[in-house]
Amino acid sequence: TITREFIEGLPKAELHLHLEGTLEPELKLKLAQKNGVDIGQTTIEDVRKSYDYDSLASFLAVYYPGMNVLQTEDDFYQLALEYLKKAKLNGVRHVEMFFDPQAHLTRGIAFETFIKGYHRACVDAAAFNVDAHLIMCFLRDMPVKSANEVLEMAKPYRDMILGIGLDSDEHHNPPLKFARPYSDAASQGYHTTMHADIDQVDSIEHIKQALEIIEVDRLDHGTNIVENQDLVDWVNQKQLGLTSCPLSNGFVTNDMKGKKIVELMEQGVKVSINSDDPAYFGGYIADNYEALAKKYNLTAAQLVTFAKNSFETSWISDFQKETYL
Ligand code: HPA
Ligand code: ZN
């Protein structure tokens, strides 16, 4: 049987992690008090109780207001460093972390403030052997013009950002809406990924747009391709990575989607296991591996395959990959 020690000891890369989704009730309350921000709760218990949702929309309604406590460069640094220390304990060696510039810019925080705090945490994580990188996400429920502006704003910090992503509410916000900033970003040398799927009505159509028209380098979620053999063949032929988040799926869709995840893996798709928003969805990456292993009776060999997939589909150099695989 699979032990916790085995899962934590398995070297892993985490490829689907929202930094703002690592805001634990303790840090949220501490920063609220330090910065004089009214979050509507004054005890850890009440903050914890406010972490309550059963859909992507109801989650986002807790997630965005929570960010108000993040004000200074050091607040962003602390948030990221606390996550990176937990990642270390979970056996993470390499991580590519999402952050949401527009969620901070729209409340008056300068780009420089969050990028410098997050970047400093990445630099400091090297001291405890976690190789940390940043992926800048556009909010798909904001106008494309805003995404173009964010890409422009990021230019002075180009070397601090590994790739771009797309998150937030997918409904009525298809990948094609962002064709322009994605092609601009690719021409600036960014790697590209985007969220597509999570039981939206147009799931397969969105996945097709992301893969065939935007031509992303990786796909976040996307497990519904299992219903479409052509798409499975496409990602296999391109060796394209899919980042799955079982505990998050459980909250958002009432189904960890473990059957689909395992079936894709058995068909050779490079699926990885990730934590998405660990402070909000009940666990870090080892908890995700453990929940999946328990519920679907996975073998050690299957877990090793997920971990191997995570390094193989990461955006580190082939040379660096050799040291992990
Ligand atoms: N889905 C979509 N957007 C998000 C998420 C998520 O799980 N977390 C943060 N932004
Ligand atoms: Zn996500």
pLDDT digits (tens, 9 = 90+) for 99-148: 999 999 999 999 999 999 999 999 999 999 999 999 999 999 999 999 99
Q: Give the CATH number for residue 10.
A: 3.20.20.140
Out of 135, 251, 277, mutate this one to test ligand 1's pocket (max ligand atoms within 8 Å of CB): namely: 277
Q: What is the DSSP string of 82-145?
A: HHHHHHHHTTEEEEEEEE-HHHHHTTT--HHHHHHHHHHHHHHHGGGT-EEEEEEEEETTS-HH
In a domain, 53, yes or no: no
Give the CA-trace dihedral at 20, 26, 27, 31, to 10 degrees. 120
Written as one letter, the residue type at 110 is A
In a domain, 134, yes or no: yes
Please give the mean pLDDT across all residues of the chain: 96
| Domain limits for position 120 | 4-22+82-324
Residue 321 has pLDDT above 80, yes or no: no
Sign (positive or negative) of CA dihedral 118, 119, 124, 129: positive
Whether the CB-CB separation of 138 and 164 falls below 8 Å is answered with: yes
Reference 284, options 1, 20, 17, 80; nearest CA is 17
The CA–CA distances, whole Å, from 1 to 4, 5, 184, 258, 290 equal 10, 11, 48, 18, 11
Q: What is the pLDDT of residues 204-259, one digit of tens each?
A: 999 999 999 999 999 999 999 999 999 999 999 999 999 999 999 999 889 999 99
Query: Quick one: which atom of ligand 1 is closest to the CA of 198?
Result: 1
Out of 56, 137, 219, 221, mutate this one to test ligand 1's pocket (max ligand atoms within 8 Å of CB): namely: 56
In a domain, 46, yes or no: no
CA angle 279, 282, 169 (to 5 degrees): 65
In a domain, 153, yes or no: yes
Q: How many structural domains comprise the chain?
A: 1
The per-residue pLDDT for 202 is: 81
Is 16 known as a binding-site position? Answer: yes
Residue of minimum CA distance from atom 2 in ligand 1: 168
Q: Which of 28-37, 54-63, 239-248, 286-295 has the lowest mean pLDDT?
A: 54-63
What mean pLDDT is predicted for residues 58-73? Answer: 96
Q: 218: helix, coil or strand? A: strand
Residue 34 has pLDDT above 70, yes or no: yes
In whole angstroms, what is the distance from residue 12 CA to residue 85 CA? Answer: 14
CA angle 91, 96, 102 (to 5 degrees): 135
Query: Is 75 near ligand 1, meaning CB less than 6 Å away?
Result: no
Reference 273, options 2, 14, 6; nearest CA is 14
In a domain, 37, yes or no: no
In a domain, 55, yes or no: no
Q: What is the CA(59)–ligand 2 centre distance, in A? A: 11
In a domain, 102, yes or no: yes
The per-residue pLDDT for 172 is: 93
In a domain, 36, yes or no: no
**DSSP type of residue 299:** -
Q: Point out the ligand nearest to the CA of residue 244.
A: 2
Q: What is the pLDDT of residues 188-207, one digit of tens each?
A: 999 999 999 866 678 999 99
pLDDT band at 316 (very low <50, low <70, confident <90, very high): confident
Whether the CB-CB separation of 11 and 312 falls below 8 Å is answered with: no
Whether the CB-CB separation of 111 and 99 falls below 8 Å is answered with: no
Strand (E) positions, the chain?
12-14, 92-99, 131-139, 163-167, 191-196, 218-221, 241-244, 270-273
